Structure 1
């Protein structure tokens, strides 16, 4: 798995601004044939969005309300809310103890993840015939905890009970994805997409602690690893990267285009991460209008400069290059179709050019 994950091979983050399943798979297979990901397609409706997609079970049980025009929230004023919590935890325990039907309840409803189910069908049918590794993705507990609120619009992350429910829901969704993809006969990696990690250290989120964040992330990581999958982390902003480098994960994915300086101050932690086999995934291709002013050559040059900077700071460059992935800086679901296509094609081209430049297998 390390050989495929490293050596500057490429993959995508997850979301695309497309509505057609066939065209989504065509784009992914053409640009990321070795490490394809299932397509998240938020333009198909609110239920397919970054937040709602992972809340199906909680909405079905009645713990969360999803109303048009408002971010989903815990319906904490329901008279039977405590009974619903009991129902949730009973289901969680059954799933954790190996009940496959209970675990399936934590998976995607077919109508909330058409990209996932069509991806499974396409892999089964042999469409992704060059694939060596399958990638899934789950929203992170920090991001969801800061977005999903209680009935009074207070972030659920600051409520111990609600935070625990969200984290356990995401953990078992990650395990379910890992199980489903593993049945297709290839190694699996699940990325935890948690842009909310940028909040650590901000004055507006002063009660967020490194220890609290680590605890929630580790619960999701452990659930995924219990299914035999590798785990990656994606954050498209700056954060305290030492937190992620210290965790038992295989990949740390960061926005190298906009936030390289935030990670370059951790050379010691990067070396330790690489020494234990970790992969540093450079999100070197911008997922914004800036893609229009960049080219394959300019981004290869930028990557080379960043590698040199890390080398000057004491990072082992030879090891680094063998343990790098290339990705877009973030998902493309909110962009134009034209820009998303350009970003995927550019990521593929940059990966190939870097591999050729540094003579990587």
Structure 2
């Protein structure tokens, strides 16, 4: 069972341009990770980072655009299928991550867990559009290859992390997942539930999903997940209303990572350790009042910043402050 009790972690994306500062920030948490640094270069963007070798992808680095071509997909598919039996074909290249290999050289033995991350298949497939501006996930065969592709990407990354630590995991960053519950989406939540479940069942190690939006939480709480990372600062009041699903999720020994410290400067400037701790405990109190024991909640909880943020005018200051508050909240909860 994964350890809980307010361990601190975070999503992968950071606004830093300095590699050492970014890695130090990540290593200061209880569950460290290798940072994604899209401000350093476009290839570190979450979507671009994991698009390498996907058949049919066209990357315009100058305009910072990813597109999908059905003609190119058809031309490249046979080569992809032949290469897909080679694990290194799915490696995270130096051009795509300036930090990954450095992270692997760190002494990580003192940490109970470490994590990596990748873009989730639903977000990836909805974000990248074809010649007719349709998300490529709408094509049944392309979607099948997409799920296969990210399964291989995750497996390769997990195996690299496993070489340096006994307890790694790779979680999926799914900012676009809430879109499948929109009536305008041609990829329905009913289809996604079946396909996503099959995808998760093939992944190595603990299975985690992070999203900063507000989906139908039952979809994820009922999925085969070990970790659900939530922007609790913005959406915690809605998540906790799925009382039955949350109760069953926690009783199965799963982890909720409560994203409680905001990362936007405007939000962060209004908060303190005390106010954010109170905000989180109010969410837990609601669950207490509906039959979920406080000890169980604490035992199955991690803490994280609420979301990734690249738009603050102060560069990295707000993010650094958010991480500092996070560690202080964790200490405060552990002393209760």
TM (normalized to structure 1)?
Answer: 0.87
Cα distance in 2 for partners of 1:21, 1:35 equals 18
One of 236, 247, 253 as aligned partner of 1:260? 236
The Cα of 1:19 is off from its aligned counterpart by: 1.5
Match of 2:58 among 59, 65, 68: 65
**Aligned partner (choices 158, 162, 166) of residue 178 of structure 1:** 158
Please give the alpha-carbon distance, in whole angstroms, between the structure 2 residues aligned to 1:35 and 1:297.
23
What residue number does 1:326 align with? 303
Q: Partners in 1 of 2:199 and 2:105 — Cα distance?
A: 26
8 A contact 1:133–1:188 mirrored in 2: yes
Counterpart for residue 35 of structure 1: 31
1:109 paired to 2:93 = yes
Number of residue-to-residue matches in the alignment: 332
Deviation at 1:186, TM superposition (A): 2.5
Deviations 1:72-130 (A, max 9, x none): 1122234xx424112222333x2xxxxxxx111112111101121111122xxx2x453
Contact 1:137–1:192, Cα closer than 8 Å, also in 2: yes
**Retained in 2: the 8 A contact 1:190–1:224?**
no
Instruction: Give the structure 2 partner of residue 244 of structure 1.
Output: 220
- Partner of 2:15 in structure 1? 17
Post-superposition, which runs of at least 4 consecutive aligned residues in structure 1 deviate over 3 A?
A: 332-335
Partner Cα separation in structure 2 for residue 179 and residue 333 of structure 1: 29
Among 126, 132, 136, the residue aligned to 2:116: 136
Unpaired runs of at least 5, structure 2: none
Deviation at 1:345, TM superposition (A): 1.1
- Which has the larger share of helix? 1
Per-residue Cα deviation, 1:196-215 (whole angstroms, up to 9, x for no partner) = 1211322332x332232223
Q: Distance in 1 between matches of 2:37 and 2:74?
A: 34
Residue number in structure 2 paired with 1:283: 259
More off after superposition, 159-168 vs 49-58: 159-168
- TM-score relative to the length of structure 2: 0.93
Which runs of no fewer than 5 residues in structure 1 stay unpaired? 95-101
Structure 2: distance between partners of 1:44 and 1:82: 33
| Superposition pairs of residues 196-207 of structure 1, within 5 angstroms | 196-205=176-185, 207=186
Corresponding position of 1:343: 322
Report the Cα offset of residue 151 of structure 1.
2.1
Give the conservation status (yes or no) of the 8 Å contact 1:172–1:220. Answer: no
How far apart in 2 are the matches of 1:352 and 1:74? Answer: 47
Mapped to 2, the partners of 1:129 and 1:22 lie a distance apart of 19
> Quick one: distance in 1 between partners of 2:190 and 2:183?
17
